[in-house]
Amino acid sequence: MLLAVDAGNTNIVFGIHDGQNWIHEWRYETVPVRNQIEYEMFLRLNFLESNLGLDTIDRIVVSSVVPQLNDVLSNFSKPLFDREPLLVGPKLYEHLPLVTGNPHEIGTDLIANAMAAHVLYEGNVIVVDFGTALTFTIVNESGKIEGVNIAPGLKTAIAALVGNTAQLPEVPLELPDSAIGKNTTHAIQAGVLWGYVGMVEGMLERVKKEFDKPVKVVATGGLSSILHPLHDQFDDVNRHLTLEGLRLISETI
């Protein structure tokens, strides 16, 4: 079985793939000061609760966009699984069916998204990833990453709004029925969430016009289900897209 680790700025996602499906997914809050032992204990507990043996893991692949975690994520697997992880990075990209003009600038999570989009959906694809950042990755039918757009993610936008204003409360990420706020909570939800609906619609329209070729749109990320009015904009919503990309990278290298 495969253990895929996707370390983002908000959460670290650990996924277990049994060769057919993703059978387990665990999230651990990203805290760079945690040491290796804490990650080992987290995984031991989850393996135990899931009735999985540590010896069932024969491959490990890691993507990290948090440099402070790289050493820990490089070393945690040896004591647990007696295996070295495959760390996704620029040195591996030449072995993938992808082309990028800025291999040292693009995040490994976006490479994983592009890999999954190119292999699973073929043709030209725009991947919209609703994470800590809202990203749009454009991959052409040949596997060339044409470009990436990055905006603050939903939680990031709300946290910035609340953190920089004196009287605005934290609010749940729930899309209200009306875009016209009737109270403070409703006003923030309407402004941010309906604002993001408009931003995604506008960005997709502009990118499609500039790209000027038939293109599929695939959404992923933990927050992809919140903005449900956007779902008619997407050809697919695949919450495991990044993990799938890591799996495909591990099978290619």
Cβ atoms of residues 131 and 242 within 8 Å: no
Tell me the CA distances in angstroms from 168 to 13, 157, 177, 190, 191, one per residue in order. 31, 13, 21, 14, 13
* Helix runs in 83-194, H state only: 90-93, 108-121, 154-163, 184-189
Q: How many CB atoms lie within 10 A of CB 129?
A: 28
Cβ atoms of residues 139 and 146 within 8 Å: yes
Q: How many CB atoms lie within 10 A of CB 237?
A: 18
Buried/exposed code over 48-58 (b: 16+ C-beta within 10 A; e: otherwise): eeeebeeeebe
CA angle, corner 124, sides to 95 and 224, nearest 5? 95
Instruction: Tell me how far apart the alpha carbons of residues 69 and 153 are, in angstroms, rounded to a whole number.
Output: 21
Of 6, 18, 109, 232, the active-site residue reads 109
Tell me the CA distances in angstroms from 193 to 21, 146, 173, 229, one per residue in order. 32, 28, 8, 11
**Angle 108-121/241-252 helices, nearest 10 degrees?**
80
- Catalytic site includes residue 109: yes
- Residues with catalytic annotation? 109
